[in-house]
Amino acid sequence: MNVIVDTDVWSEGLRKRSGEPSPHALLLTELIRENRVQMLGCIRQEALQGCRDRAQFDRLRGALAAFPERSPAQAEYELAAEFFNLCRSHGVQGSRMDYLLCACSVAWGLPILTRDRDFTRYAAHLPVTLVQV
């Protein structure tokens, strides 16, 4: 089964660091090796927006080019709006992109790999599945 990988995991997984990689970064490596990553254009954009210089941008763009993306349709955008309204009615705030990821996850039957704790709050009200690491 494919997995939607959130920007925060991409950022961590693609940065070169000393020390042991986190469980999220290790799982990302495994998902890439198994060709099980589901890319969305908004995640690609957000990852590229974090680049400090052109060389880094070009390297990251090249690395991410290996992952074809699946585009949300009208139904996913409408579901994202429903999710936003439902969560807001329970006092839970979130970004448009987060709710779009949740909608794609539910509509496509794919779990989300993220380090963002906001998704745990969304999952309390939405039928979204999060990868447990």
Query: Within 13 A of 116's CA, how many CA atoms are on the CB side?
Result: 22
pLDDT category at 37 given cuts 50, 70, 90 is: very high
Residue 44 shares a structural domain with residue 87: no
One-letter amino acid identity for 3? Answer: V
Contacts of 71 (CB under 8 A, 6+ apart): 40, 41
pLDDT tens digits for range 99-122: 999 999 999 999 999 999 999 999
For residues 128 and 108, the answer to whether their CB atoms sit within 8 Å is: no
Residue 86's domain comprises 74-123
Residue 92 exposed, middle or buried by CB count within 10 Å (0-12, 13-18, 19+): middle
**130 in a structural domain:** no
With respect to residue 69, please indicate whether it lies within any of the assigned structural domains: no
Judgement on whether residues 57 and 79 belong to the same structural domain of the protein: no
Supply the pTM of this predicted model: 0.93
